[in-house]
Amino acid sequence: MESGYGYSLFGSLGVDIGLTRNLGFYIKTIVRYYDIPANDAMQINNQVVSFPHTNAWATMLETGLRS
């Protein structure tokens, strides 16, 4: 039984490492998940539109230098 409500989860974790007094390196991991239920048909610009159930993971890795 579906509740009709969707949800999204998001999280990130990062580390900053000092190489010298004025130079550093960072790395950050980002994770996202969403679960959106299907919707009832609706009319938009004289066209009937409906969207299916959707769920997906996204993972990202960010790196860089700082000064």
CA distance 5 to 34: 11
Q: For position 16, what pLDDT does the model report?
A: 93
CA distances from 56 to 11, 14, 21, 41, 59 (A): 14, 22, 41, 22, 10
Residue pair 17/24 in contact (Cβ under 8 Å)? The answer is yes
1, part of any domain: no
DSSP state of 1: -
35, part of any domain: yes
55, part of any domain: yes
2, part of any domain: no
62, part of any domain: yes
Is the predicted pLDDT of residue 3 greater than 70, yes or no? no
Q: For position 51, what pLDDT does the model report?
A: 84
Q: For position 44, what pLDDT does the model report?
A: 87
pTM (2 d.p.): 0.63
Q: For position 2, what pLDDT does the model report?
A: 57
What are the pLDDT digits (tens) for 36-63? 988 888 888 999 988 889 999 999 999 9
41, part of any domain: yes
Q: Structurally, how many domains does the chain consist of?
A: 1
Looking up tokens 């974790």 gives: 13
Is the predicted pLDDT of residue 1 greater than 50, yes or no? no
11, part of any domain: yes
Instruction: Give the domain range for residue 18.
Output: 7-66
